[in-house]
Amino acid sequence: MILNNIWYVLIGVVFIVYVILDGFDLGIGILNRILGKTDIERKKLYYSIGPFWDGNEVWLLTGGGALFAAFPVVYASVFSGFYLALILLLFFLILRIITLEFRNNLQEESIRLLFDNIFALSSLLIVLLLGVAMGNITRGLELTENKHYYGGLIGLLNPYSIYIGIFAIIVIISHGASYAMLKMDGEIFSRATRINRIFIVLSGIFYLINLVITYLFVPMRFANFSNFPVLYLLLLLPIVFLLLSYQYNKKERTGLNFIMSSLFIFSLLLLFGVGNYPYFVPSVDGNGGLDLYNSASSENTLRNMLIIVLIGLPIVIFYTIYIHRIFKGKVDINQNGY
């Protein structure tokens, strides 16, 4: 039973790391036309995420694989239930990779511009879709007795979930801007600083409204908080990190600002996990759902997988940090190769 809980946390950790890491390159994607006014500026932006986006996206694949391994019923039920939404997500993920990877191989400036636009749009829609999915999970799904969801794509487009989708876009824009501050100088840096500041404020407003509407429309998400009132303190974390981020933005302490932006995302997703525990997908009527017991693999598999993670993940973290250090500092495209 403890293994099920460990895996619930591990899936959460993988997903949080995914959002923080791919979040900055998705944010750069959404903002590429706004931060980069000229072709050269946009090229610089591409170079800032070039060595990393693929590794970042692997966290999503890891999450998918780990969910399949540890909680196959969730993997099977959610992915087939969210069929069209997931297919669209895959479609935009592919489109984004193609535009982002190939734009610098193309000579025609007009086609490059087209690619930049598609890059921005697909990044935006990926974040929207993931946000809407999270909104629906928080809100709960109309599950049948066999834990299947028949609502289709239309069933996912409810006001609460769309709100969460927009909230996600705002958070990711802010995060992308804070990454641009870290990696860019000159004009792009000043634009990123302004955008980051505005979207920190917006994130705060959206967060507070989110608390209110969740309390009004999905009160059962606060059940865990009521049972352990000390958890209510966690609701303050996002505000704290936003305030710090705002301060560091003003002082142009780019490294600390990026860390605070990452911690803000961490704290939001922590609340998401605490509120939903022990469910992956709660039923909308509050009666059960897919949880970490009824959808899990056997104890054997959970243990084997834990061993795999304990061997593999430290190595991954080690070389990921090592490679980020290789590419530390502002991007300089005149220096051959980066």
Q: Which residues of this protein are in contact with other proteins, per CB under 8 A?
A: 47, 50-52, 54-55, 57-58, 60-62, 64-70, 72-73, 75-81, 83-84, 86-87, 90-91, 93-95, 97-98, 101-102, 105, 146, 148-150, 297-298, 300-301, 304-305, 308-309, 312-313, 316, 319-320, 323, 326-327, 335-338
Residue 268 or 305: the one with the smaller Cβ distance to other proteins is 305
- Two tokens, residue 172: 């990711």
13-16: long-range pairs with CB below 8 Å, 24+:
14/59, 14/62, 14/63, 14/66, 15/59, 15/63, 15/269, 16/265, 16/266, 16/269, 16/270
Please state the closest distance from residue 254 (CB atom) to other proteins, in A. Answer: 20
Alpha helices in the chain (DSSP H): 2-35, 39-49, 53-70, 72-81, 83-102, 109-139, 152-156, 159-183, 186-217, 223-227, 237-250, 254-276, 299-326
Q: Which is nearer to other proteins, 39 or 54 (CB)?
A: 54
Is the Cα torsion angle 267, 268, 274, 277 positive or negative in sign? negative
Listed in sequence order, the DSSP H helices in 105-185 are 109-139, 152-156, 159-183
Q: Least CB distance from residue 212 to other proteins, whole Å?
A: 33
Q: Which is nearer to other proteins, 9 or 240 (CB)?
A: 9
Minimum CB–partner distance for residue 264 and other proteins (Å): 25
If the CB atoms of residues 41 and 101 are measured against other proteins, the closer one turns out to be 101
Question: Which one, 11 or 192, has the nearer CB to other proteins?
Answer: 11
Closest approach of other proteins to the CB of residue 34, in Å: 24
Per-residue CA distances from 169 to 15, 120, 126, 192, 200 (Å): 17, 12, 9, 16, 12
3-state SS class at 79: helix
Paired with 282 in beta bridges are: 289
DSSP state of 280: E
The residue among 58 and 157 lying less far from other proteins, judged by its C-beta, is 58
Q: Which is closer to other proteins, CB of 148 or CB of 251? A: 148
We find the least distance from the C-beta atom of residue 91 to other proteins, in angstroms, to be 6
Q: How far is CA 223 from CA 118, 195, 206, 276, 289, in A?
A: 42, 36, 22, 9, 15
Least distance in angstroms from the C-beta of 331 to other proteins: 10
Neighbours of 263 (CB within 10 A): 19
Residue 288: enclosing H or E segment and its boundaries?
A: none
- C-alpha to C-alpha distance for 51 and 337, rounded to whole angstroms: 11
Supply the minimum distance, in Å, between the C-beta of residue 193 and other proteins: 25
For residue 114, the Cα-to-chain-centroid distance in whole angstroms is: 25
Instruction: Return the bridge partners of 289, or none.
Output: 282
Q: Which is nearer to other proteins, 185 or 332 (CB)?
A: 332
Which CB atom, from 39 or from 101, has the smaller least distance to other proteins? 101
CB of 114 to other proteins, least distance (A): 12
Residue 163 beta carbon to other proteins: minimum distance, rounded to whole angstroms: 26
